[in-house]
């Protein structure tokens, strides 16, 4: 980190005032002056600029703390230096034992405490002296934790002389956040706990099933499928107490708005049905004649950063035409755990099923090795035949593949563009396919559902979702179920135009 130009004059003034100490003492004092400037202590004439990048107090107290706990040496250093009781005696403190932090408002209007990135680098230096490896620190630090100073309003320097002052400020900020949330929670509680004003209710609302329950019943009756066994991700049925709570009435649409909404939903269903027909035709032809491959892919990411890729999984079904004219079906499943991010685990907001791949053996690879393997697989499967690259909502997965190293143009073609162009499926190359859109067409619903719900309706038993390999296999099975014309489709909730129905 570059030091301010005032560092030389400050160090020289300090040495002059203390006489002419020996070389070791001069070096010690010069280093202390450098640290004072690094930690953004009070500068001569108060002109030290504010840091350009900062890190939230909560990030070091929660996210980074959880990571440091996985390394014995780093965890020991954190306990000795990175708690409110030990910060004033840590390398992050100033020469006089005080602690300088930064305070400002985020976009939500809440006041937060921040460290400077210079203080984080000082913490790194101290942990390196303890024997913590630099590659481990670098791999476990997310640059997205760093806030540009421009994103923080009313940023200012705050100096705490002792632990009591720091704890008092933390308590004050917590009270301010709770006071800010109290009116919102109060309004939410009033809306939730409000009782009906009269005991006479419309016959249609007394004991009427919810819309979701009615829809599930309608789907099961239309498809004549038995009730599927519940998966790990299945949500419990709402309790009677929850279903009896009054709900806010939906806004009433005018006839013109209703007509416009119906037109939009019909247009979406028409487009998705064209994709389903094109994909199903290719699937049925490939089963009889060969010459096509279908690869479903899923990527898992760290819940604290979408740019931190932790798992890749894919499942392949390929129809190969043999010399005697017969067609052989080949299947393959892969689950890759990224070496660089082994220490980054989910579990707070997203389930962690990394070690529970149910369709083979997991492999640990680096990001570069994963790119090479996946690129070779895609290139081989699409060289002389069409390859359908299947996702359940491709947006996040395509962003992850771009982070891995793929160009956007690699996935430019899709089933949607092929269906819209009326040119059919090309003889070779890669086409992106979305099972969310295919399910909407298959079920006749103008909205899209998650993987677990789609599998439940199509009787695909699932367990240990959010493992990339498992999710890829379930997506493949879901895709194949929708390609099977023997499974009856439910009556569409939105009627299609007569020319399309």
Predicted confidence at residue 198, as pLDDT, reads 40
How confident is the chain (501 residues) per 10-residue block, as mean pLDDT?
A: 41 44 63 53 52 88 84 85 83 82 86 89 86 86 87 89 87 82 60 44 41 44 41 42 56 81 84 88 91 95 89 95 90 95 89 93 94 93 92 92 88 82 80 92 86 91 93 96 90 66 47
SS3 category, 307: strand
Contact 349, 396 (CB under 8 A): no
Identify the structural domains of the chain with CATH numbers, from first to last.
16-181 (no CATH), 262-483 (3.30.420)
Strand positions, DSSP E, 370-412 = 386-391
Partners of 387 in the beta sheet? 293, 430
99 to 85, 126, 189, 263, 369: CA distances (angstroms): 12, 17, 41, 62, 44
Closest-CA residue to 480 (of 498, 458, 453, 497): 458
Predicted confidence at residue 182, as pLDDT, reads 67
Residue 396 structure tokens: 């996040």
Partners of 148 in the beta sheet? 53
Query: Cα-atom radius of gyration of the chain, to the nearest Å?
Result: 30
Would strands 327-338 and 305-321 be described as parallel, antiparallel, or unpaired? Answer: antiparallel
DSSP code at position 414: B
Cα distance between residue 268 and residue 432, in whole Å: 18
Q: CA-based angle 419:297:364, to the nearest 5?
A: 160
Q: For 298-433, where are the alpha helices, taking DSSP H only?
A: 367-381, 394-404, 415-421
Neighbours of 374 (CB within 10 A): 21
Predicted confidence at residue 223, as pLDDT, reads 40
């Amino acid at each position: 980190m570059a030091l301010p130009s005032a560092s030389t004059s400050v160090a020289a003034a300090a040495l002059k005032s203390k006489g002419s100490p020996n070389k070791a003492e001069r070096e010690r004092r010069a280093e202390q002056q450098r640290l004072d400037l690094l930690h953004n202590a009070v500068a001569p004439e108060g002109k030290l600029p504010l840091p350009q990048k900062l890190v939230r107090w909560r990030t070091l107290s929660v996210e980074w703390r959880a990571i440091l706990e996985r390394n014995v040496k780093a965890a020991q250093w954190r306990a000795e230096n990175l708690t409110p009781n030990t910060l004033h005696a840590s390398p992050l403190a100033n020469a006089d034992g005080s602690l300088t932090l930064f305070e400002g408002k985020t976009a939500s209007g809440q006041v937060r405490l921040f460290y400077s990135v210079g203080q984080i680098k000082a913490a790194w230096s101290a942990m390196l002296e303890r024997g913590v490896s630099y590659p481990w620190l670098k791999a476990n630090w997310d640059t997205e934790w760093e806030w540009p100073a421009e994103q923080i309003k009313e940023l200012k320097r705050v100096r705490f002389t002792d632990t009591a002052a720091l704890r008092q400020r933390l308590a004050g900020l917590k009270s301010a956040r709770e006071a800010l949330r109290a009116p919102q929670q109060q309004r939410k509680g009033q809306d939730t706990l409000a009782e009906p004003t009269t005991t006479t209710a419309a016959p249609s609302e007394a004991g009427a099933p919810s819309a979701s329950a009615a829809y599930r019943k309608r789907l099961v009756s239309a498809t004549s499928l038995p009730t599927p066994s519940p998966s790990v991700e299945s949500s419990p049925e709402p309790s009677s107490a929850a279903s009896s709570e009054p709900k806010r009435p939906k806004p009433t649409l005018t006839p013109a708005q209703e007509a416009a909404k119906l037109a939009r939903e019909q247009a979406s269903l028409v487009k998705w049905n064209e994709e389903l027909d094109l994909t199903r035709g290719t699937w049925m032809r490939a089963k009889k004649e060969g010459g096509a491959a279908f690869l479903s892919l899923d990527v898992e990411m760290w819940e604290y950063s979408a740019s931190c890729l932790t798992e890749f999984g894919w499942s392949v079904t390929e129809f190969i035409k043999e010399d005697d004219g017969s067609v052989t079906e080949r299947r393959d499943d892969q689950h890759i755990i990224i070496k660089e991010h082994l220490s980054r685990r989910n579990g707070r907001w997203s389930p962690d099923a990394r070690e529970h791949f149910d369709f083979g053996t997991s492999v640990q690879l680096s990001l570069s090795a994963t790119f090479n393997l996946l690129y070779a697989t895609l290139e081989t499967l699409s060289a002389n035949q069409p390859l359908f690259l299947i996702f359940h909502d491709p947006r996040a997965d395509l962003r992850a593949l771009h982070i891995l190293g793929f160009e956007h143009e690699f996935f430019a073609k899709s089933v949607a563009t092929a269906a819209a162009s009326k040119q059919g499926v090309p003889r070779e190359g890669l086409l992106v396919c979305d099972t969310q859109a295919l399910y909407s067409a298959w079920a006749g619903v103008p909205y899209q559902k998650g993987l677990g719900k789609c599998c439940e309706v199509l009787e695909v038993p699932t367990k240990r979702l959010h493992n990339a390999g498992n999710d890829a296999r379930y997506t493949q099975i879901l895709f194949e179920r929708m390609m099977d014309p023997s499974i009856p489709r439910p009556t569409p909730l939105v009627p299609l135009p007569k020319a399309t129905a």
